[in-house]
Amino acid sequence: MTRHQRIRRNATRAIFIAIIILQDFVPFFGNIPLGPLSITTLHVTVIIAAITLGPGEGAIIGGVWGLLTWVRAFVAPSSPLAPLIFVNPLVSVVPRIMIGLVAGWLFRLVNRYAHSQRAAAIVAAIGGTVTNTGLVLGFVALFYRTPAVAHAYGVNVDHLLPALETIMATNGVAELTLAVIVVPLVALPVLEVRRRMR
């Protein structure tokens, strides 16, 4: 990688990090609160970063979001659940890193074998979104089957797993639909611009 390419990559990474910070701190921009839940749009930015910069950079951008989620759980929670579950880095940080890795590698693999960037972007959007939702809710089910968390979801402990499944079917579908629509619309033109600048 030449010095010029390295500078351009660092500048692009900085732009993605700035977007993540804006999304995380501007109300209704990155997290849309709905009662005890919070529908996120930040995963879309991480997936776009993973597609345009690669899985490693996607993991870095996801990691920044995860660290912000973790810090905000202590000082400025985005939902009533955040101080209960996102204080654990396994729930707040790891799934965000994995979005970048999964989406980036899926894009590369599908693009290599299907020779369609649009199809690869859609598969990456699906994979990244499902990774985030699945890991977060999976870790909640694994580590936080407690009365406090169940109460925040408005159910008792015995009904926590069905509540999480409902969230997967509602929040998860909304976030998945958003990603499938937005990721190809943004990532493919950015890829084309980057290709022309080489």
- Tell me the domain boundaries of the chain: 3-197
Specify the residue for token string 């690669």: 54
| Closest alpha carbon to 19 in 82, 61, 74, 76 | 61
| Closest alpha carbon to 180 in 114, 131, 118 | 118
| Closest alpha carbon to 149 in 91, 81, 89 | 81
Give the C-alpha separation, 53 to 18, whole Å. 15
Give the 3-state secondary structure percentages of the chain, helix then strand then coil, rounded to 5: 80, 5, 15
Asked whether the beta carbons of 91 and 136 are under 8 A apart, the reply is yes
Q: Which architecture characterizes domain 3-197 according to CATH?
A: Orthogonal Bundle (1.10)
Asked whether the beta carbons of 80 and 86 are under 8 A apart, the reply is no
Give me the tens of pLDDT residue by residue for the chain, a chain 198 residues long: 788 778 888 999 999 999 999 998 887 788 776 665 667 899 999 999 999 999 999 999 999 999 999 999 898 876 677 787 888 899 999 999 999 999 999 999 999 998 899 999 999 999 999 999 999 888 888 877 766 666 666 656 666 677 677 777 777 888 899 999 999 999 999 999 888 876
